[in-house]
């Protein structure tokens, strides 16, 4: 037998943070004693390899975004990195004609998603939860847009919106000179046009999340409510909806993240031309566009990072705290 | 008494049910309309639609646009590119994520929550937050002889790595929740018998996670197949693009023919649709298993 009896806890081998080797009372003693050195190496490897990969490619780069945001760099050699303090941010907030519209569009994106497709998804979920016939057929139809890639979604909706050949203009006769409606090019229209496509997709996503939430609602609640003489709407409002609270939190977070991540659809639709600028598009244009401004692009990324973390961190802390209690 | 109540209730509900079906069927049809419109456009010859307009009765419906789009753009090559990226990415992501999940859920270590927090938060970040340094990093890493480009940039390997790093967060979260539900006695017995940690993981825990792994594999395949952004930025040679991102360039080739664009776009959607229709339950359960996915 190679079982060791040293009291050194195995996590010290995995990731060596200060204080990690302190004893923890909750660990069953037998567990640790039976771990061989090889087991510890295995564990270190099992936790270490994925962590290193994830931290290196996601968190180190996120931190690098923050660092680069305070510099200018042409990308050729490290010598050319120059510290410029808050210059990039100053320029971004005061001089960039695209920045504030982009922020506004990201906000509009979120507001539209939470006000229209989210309640719509909830409504559909409530209807489909009624042990109705063909429920799966309907679900499949509503959920289909979530499965198809956003790039394909962009092309499909281009066929609907194309000013010359699209479905809408052909139907209403707006494809002739004189009554032209340019859904894709007109900066007053294109954001709303693309938001219709985004909502089309978001509804199905929300429907699935709410359906899962509704499955978890105790059926006796519904019966009790019915016996009390509550009608369908009253039951939903006073009994069902309050129990959906955890789902609502998830839905809110998912919707905010979706609004911040919005990219593919717009990029395919019109490359983020005037009217559809988004933070994600501005960052990308600073990399693959003609003028690669690394520091400046990173400053926009920092804005996006700060907003994202402001949502992600409290949500995850609340989630994990609840889990630990459970 | 309750049956009497049920009977009483069921009779007046009927017309409402019919109304509901009418509403749902109508909405479902409206939901499918854009896709059906794309199919309709793709089935019609360009000459006919440019002559008669798009909203018109079709004289001829053919698959010519599909075959043309497929052949002209050498689509098979791009499907191949996707396969080279997606298969290793899905398998390796699941391997790494399950290892982390095993560690986090089976060994009650101090770092668990923190580690899981790092992984999950990283997965929720918008991709654009990290893209600028990532792009530079990929350009800096020289891999002569390992990738075609000699760098991590513009290589399938680079895409596999970023997919793994990004998606493992979500999978680790889902799998650790799943593994936590498995009884502790399972591995404790094995431990007493002298089974190594690796054997506990590989022979005891992993086989029990098959349902969760299947759901995640379905989800990951579709996500990675559908990825557009990473490849647009991290691949420079059009030839090396996976199919979803290549579509952007391909559509430029047959730009003047929307019917051909429609056919091309629909062709790239077919694999996801097949996976979805075959494995719908897996997909949905994966999505709701760890509903905190952006």
CA separation for the pair A27, A20 (Å, rounded): 14
Is A248 near chain B, with CB under 8 Å? Answer: no
**Given an 8 Å threshold on Cβ–Cβ distance, is B117 in contact with A316?**
yes
What value does the mean pLDDT of chain A take? 84
Report whether pLDDT(B147) > 70. yes
* Mean pLDDT lowest among A108-122, B102-116, B234-248: B102-116
Is the CB of residue A143 less than 8 Å from the CB of residue B32?
no
Is the CB of residue A69 less than 8 Å from the CB of residue A302?
yes
CA separation for the pair B239, B231 (Å, rounded): 12
User: What residue spans define the domains of chain B?
Assistant: 66-289
Q: Provide the percentage of residues in chain A whose pLDDT is more than 70.
A: 87
Residue in B125, B250, B272 to test binding to A, most A beta-carbons within 10 Å: B125
**Given an 8 Å threshold on Cβ–Cβ distance, is B191 in contact with A53?**
no
Question: What are the DSSP calls for chain B, one per residue?
Answer: -HHHHHHHHHHHHHHHHHHHHHHHHHHHHHHHHHHHHHHHHHHS-HHHHHHH-SSS--S---SHHHHHHHHHTTHHHHHHHHHHHHHHHHHHHHHHHHHHHHHHHHS--TTHHHHHHHHHHHHHS-THHHHHHHHHHHHH-B-TTTSTTSBSTTSHHHHHHHHHHHHHHHHHHHHHHHHHHS-HHHHHHHHHTT--HHHIIIIIIHHHTHHHHHHHHHHHHHHHHH--HHHHHH---GGG--HHHHHHHHHHHTTT-HHHHHHHHHHHHHHHHHHHHHSHHHHHHHHHHT----
Report whether pLDDT(A10) > 80. no
Which candidate from A165, A288, A298 shows the least CB-CB separation from B233?
Answer: A288
Q: What is the pLDDT of residues A140-172, one digit of tens each?
A: 999 999 999 999 999 999 889 988 888 888 888
Residue A22: predicted pLDDT: 37
Q: Which residues of A touch B188 (CB under 8 A)?
A: 28, 30-31
What value does the mean pLDDT of chain B take? 85
Report whether pLDDT(A133) > 50. yes
Q: What is the mean pLDDT of residues A19-45?
A: 62
What is the nearest CA distance from A280 to chain B, expressed in angstroms?
6
Report whether pLDDT(B140) > 80. yes
Report whether pLDDT(A66) > 50. yes
Judge residue A141's burial from the number of C-beta atoms within 10 Å of its C-beta, 0-12 exposed, 13-18 middle, 19 or more buried: buried
**Given an 8 Å threshold on Cβ–Cβ distance, is B109 in contact with A294?**
no
User: What residue spans define the domains of chain A?
Assistant: 11-68, 99-276
Q: What is the mean pLDDT of residues B8-33?
A: 82
Q: Which CATH number fits domain A99-276: 1.10.357.10, 3.40.50.1400, 1.10.3720.10, 2.40.50.100?
A: 1.10.3720.10
**Given an 8 Å threshold on Cβ–Cβ distance, is A254 in contact with B131?**
no
Residue A21: predicted pLDDT: 36
What is the nearest CA distance from A188 to chain B, expressed in angstroms?
23
Is B161 near chain A, with CB under 8 Å? Answer: yes
pTM across the whole model:
0.86
Residue A316: predicted pLDDT: 86
* Mean pLDDT lowest among A46-55, A203-212, A217-226, B244-253: B244-253
What pLDDT band is residue A16 in, cutting at 50, 70 and 90? Answer: very low
Q: What is the pLDDT of residues B176-199, one digit of tens each?
A: 888 888 888 887 788 778 888 888
CA separation for the pair B168, A134 (Å, rounded): 36
**Given an 8 Å threshold on Cβ–Cβ distance, is A200 in contact with B34?**
yes
Residue A113: predicted pLDDT: 96
**Given an 8 Å threshold on Cβ–Cβ distance, is B294 in contact with A261?**
yes
Q: Which residues of A touch B91 (CB under 8 A)?
A: none
Question: Which helix or strand (DSSP H or E) is residue A71 part of?
Answer: strand A71-72
**Given an 8 Å threshold on Cβ–Cβ distance, is B251 in contact with A57?**
no
Q: What is the mean pLDDT of residues B39-66?
A: 85
Q: What is the mean pLDDT of residues A5-16?
A: 34
CA separation for the pair A254, A260 (Å, rounded): 10
Q: What is the pLDDT of residues B256-294, one digit of tens each?
A: 788 888 898 999 999 999 988 888 888 877 777 665 433
Residue A31: predicted pLDDT: 54
Residue A184: predicted pLDDT: 87
Residue A207: predicted pLDDT: 94
Which candidate from A10, A138, A151 shows the least CB-CB separation from B244?
Answer: A151
Cα–Cα nearest to A240, from A206, A204, A205, A216: A216
Residue A291: predicted pLDDT: 66
Is A9 near chain B, with CB under 8 Å? Answer: yes
Report whether pLDDT(A9) > 50. no
Cα–Cα nearest to B248, from A306, A309, A133, A284: A284
Q: What is the pLDDT of residues A230-289, one digit of tens each?
A: 888 888 888 899 989 888 988 999 999 999 999 999 998 888 888 899 999 999 988 876
Report whether pLDDT(B4) > 50. no
Q: What is the mean pLDDT of residues B154-173?
A: 92
Question: Which helix or strand (DSSP H or E) is residue A83 part of?
Answer: strand A82-83
Q: What is the mean pLDDT of residues B142-158?
A: 84
What is the nearest CA distance from B100 to chain A, expressed in angstroms?
5
Q: Which of residues 77-136 of A touch B (CB under 8 A)?
A: 124, 127-128, 130, 132-134
Residue A56: predicted pLDDT: 92
**Given an 8 Å threshold on Cβ–Cβ distance, is A320 in contact with B192?**
no
Domain spanning B66-289: which CATH class is it, in words?
A: mainly alpha
More confident residue, A307 or B72: A307
Q: What is the pLDDT of residues B197-231, one digit of tens each?
A: 888 899 889 999 998 899 899 999 999 999 999 99
Residue A15: predicted pLDDT: 33
């Amino acid at each position: 037998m190679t079982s060791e009896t040293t009291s050194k806890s195995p996590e010290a081998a995995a990731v060596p943070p200060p204080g990690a080797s302190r004893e923890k009372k909750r660990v069953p003693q037998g567990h640790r004693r039976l771990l061989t050195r090889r087991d510890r190496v295995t564990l270190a490897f099992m936790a270490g390899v994925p962590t290193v990969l994830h931290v290196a490619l996601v968190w180190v780069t996120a931190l690098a975004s923050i660092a680069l945001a305070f510099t200018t760099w042409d990308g050729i050699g490290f010598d050319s990195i120059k510290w410029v303090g808050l210059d990039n941010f100053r320029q971004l907030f005061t001089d960039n004609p695209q920045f504030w519209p982009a922020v506004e569009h990201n906000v509009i994106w979120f507001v539209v998603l939470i006000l229209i497709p989210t309640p719509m998804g909830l409504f559909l979920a409530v209807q489909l939860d009624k042990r109705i016939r063909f429920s799966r057929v309907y679900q499949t139809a509503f959920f289909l847009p979530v499965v198809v890639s956003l790039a394909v979604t962009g092309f499909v909706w281009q066929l609907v919106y194309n000013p010359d050949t699209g479905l809408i203009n052909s139907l209403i006769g707006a494809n002739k000179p004189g009554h032209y409606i340019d859904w894709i090019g007109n900066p007053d229209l294109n954001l709303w046009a693309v938001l219709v496509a985004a909502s089309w997709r978001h509804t199905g996503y929300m429907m699935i999340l709410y359906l899962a939430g509704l499955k978890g609602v105790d059926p006796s609640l519904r019966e009790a409510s019915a016996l009390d003489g509550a009608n369908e709407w009253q039951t939903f409002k006073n009994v069902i909806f309050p129990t959906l609270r955890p789902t609502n939190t998830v839905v809110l977070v998912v919707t905010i993240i979706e609004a911040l991540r919005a990219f593919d659809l717009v990029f395919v639709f019109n490359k983020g031309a005037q009217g559809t600028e988004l933070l994600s598009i501005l960052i990308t244009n600073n990399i693959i566009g003609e003028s690669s401004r690394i520091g400046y692009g990173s400053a926009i990324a920092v804005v996006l990072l700060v907003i994202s973390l402001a949502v992600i961190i409290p949500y995850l802390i609340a989630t994990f705290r609840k889990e630990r209690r459970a | 008494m309750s049956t009497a109540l049920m009977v009483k209730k069921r009779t007046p509900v009927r017309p409402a049910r019919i109304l509901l079906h009418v509403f749902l069927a109508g909405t479902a049809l409206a939901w499918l309309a854009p896709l059906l419109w794309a199919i309709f456009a793709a089935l019609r010859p360009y000459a006919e639609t440019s002559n008669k307009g798009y909203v018109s009765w079709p004289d001829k419906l053919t698959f010519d646009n599909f075959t043309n789009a497929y052949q002209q753009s050498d689509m098979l090559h791009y499907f191949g590119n996707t396969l080279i990226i997606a298969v290793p990415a899905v398998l390796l992501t699941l391997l790494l994520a399950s290892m982390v999940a095993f560690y986090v859920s089976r060994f009650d270590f101090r770092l668990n929550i923190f580690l899981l927090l790092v992984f999950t938060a990283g997965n929720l970040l918008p991709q654009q937050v990290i893209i600028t340094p990532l792009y530079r990093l990929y350009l800096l890493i020289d891999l002569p002889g390992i990738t075609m480009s000699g760098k991590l940039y513009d290589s399938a390997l680079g895409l596999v790595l970023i997919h793994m790093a990004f998606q493992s967060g979500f999978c680790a979260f889902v799998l650790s929740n799943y593994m936590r539900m498995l009884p502790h006695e399972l591995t404790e017995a094995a431990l007493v018998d002298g089974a190594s940690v690796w054997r506990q993981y590989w022979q005891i825990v992993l086989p029990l996670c098959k349902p969760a792994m299947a759901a995640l594999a379905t989800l990951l395949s579709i996500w990675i197949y559908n990825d557009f952004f990473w490849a647009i930025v991290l691949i420079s040679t059009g030839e090396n693009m996976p199919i979803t991102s290549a579509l952007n360039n391909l559509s430029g080739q047959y730009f003047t023919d929307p019917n051909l664009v429609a056919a091309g776009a629909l062709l790239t959607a077919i694999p996801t649709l097949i996976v979805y229709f075959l494995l719908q339950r897996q997909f949905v359960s994966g999505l709701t298993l760890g509903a905190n996915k952006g």
